[in-house]
Amino acid sequence: MDEVPWRGVIHVLPMRSVVTNLYEETRERIECLQKLGIVNSQNLKNDIAEQMMWSHGALYFEKRIVFTTLDTFCLNLFKVPVAEAWKTGYGLPTRYDVSRGLIYSSAVVFDESHLFMELGSATSNRRGVAALWASIQSLVTSGVPTFLMTATLPPNILKGIVRHANNICLNVIIATMPDIKNLVDFPDDVIIIC
């Protein structure tokens, strides 16, 4: 990953079971990742982790590849690091700048993003959309490479993303998977939807 302009990749998924499955599958395919130079197989624990509320593989997202859920990602992004969330109830300071710095220096992938908008009740649906959009807006306006991956993004959601992006002067690139390999060098103010 030395030739890409980011420190690591944070892969955000909608459900813990999907996080665990993708994490385990990635560990199984470590030889391929090693050949690509993405991970150092000498010390795999320093390269790949799953981080969710009760699975602490990368408390501050310090690993090169982190698989996480939207709730854990949002807490770390919006100044409540999961590792220190208990402190906020007591009014104690947290080291939110560590996780935020690691997020802002990584590429962020929101995978199966249509599921963030479909899980649970109508209220949690709105919260999922709001959390996803607030995260995307914060990341993209800060120049973080941001990818929204889905096979089934409803047209009305896609139109909403494009409309909101245009309102704050962001660009949207809609790409198919074969196009992604050509997108290493792209402008900072872009949301990439695959």
Sheet bearing 107-110, strands edge to edge:
55-56, 48-52, 65-69, 9-13, 107-110, 146-148, 190-193, 171-174
3 located within any domain: no
pTM above 0.85, yes or no: no
Mean pLDDT is highest, among 15-29, 63-77, 170-184, for 63-77
Tokens found for residue 54: 């009760």
Alpha-carbon 94 to chain mean position: 21
Say how far apart CA 130 and CA 117 lie, in whole Å: 9
Which CATH number characterizes residue 44's domain? 3.40.50
| pLDDT at residue 102 tops 70 | yes
| Segments forming the whole domain that contains residue 151 | 9-193
Residues 159-177 have a mean pLDDT of 67
Q: What is the pLDDT of residue 1?
A: 46
Q: What is the pLDDT of residue 28?
A: 79
Q: What is the pLDDT of residue 47?
A: 83
86 located within any domain: yes
| pLDDT at residue 156 tops 80 | no
| pLDDT at residue 134 tops 50 | yes
15 located within any domain: yes
Name the residue with higher pLDDT: 29 or 135.
135
Percent of all residues in the chain with a pLDDT value above 90, rounded to a whole number? 12
1 located within any domain: no
Q: Is residue 14 a contact partner of residue 116, using CB atoms and an 8 Å limit? A: yes
Residues 21-25 have a mean pLDDT of 89
Mean pLDDT is highest, among 53-62, 78-87, 131-140, for 131-140
Residue 44 has φ and ψ, to the nearest 5°, of: -55, -35
Say how far apart CA 6 and CA 66 lie, in whole Å: 13
Residues 5-12 have a mean pLDDT of 89
Percent of all residues in the chain with a pLDDT value above 70, rounded to a whole number? 70
Domains contained in the chain, number: 1
4 located within any domain: no
Q: How confident is the model at residue 105 (pLDDT cuts 50, 70, 90)?
A: very high
Alpha carbons within 13 angstroms on the beta-carbon side of residue 148 total: 26
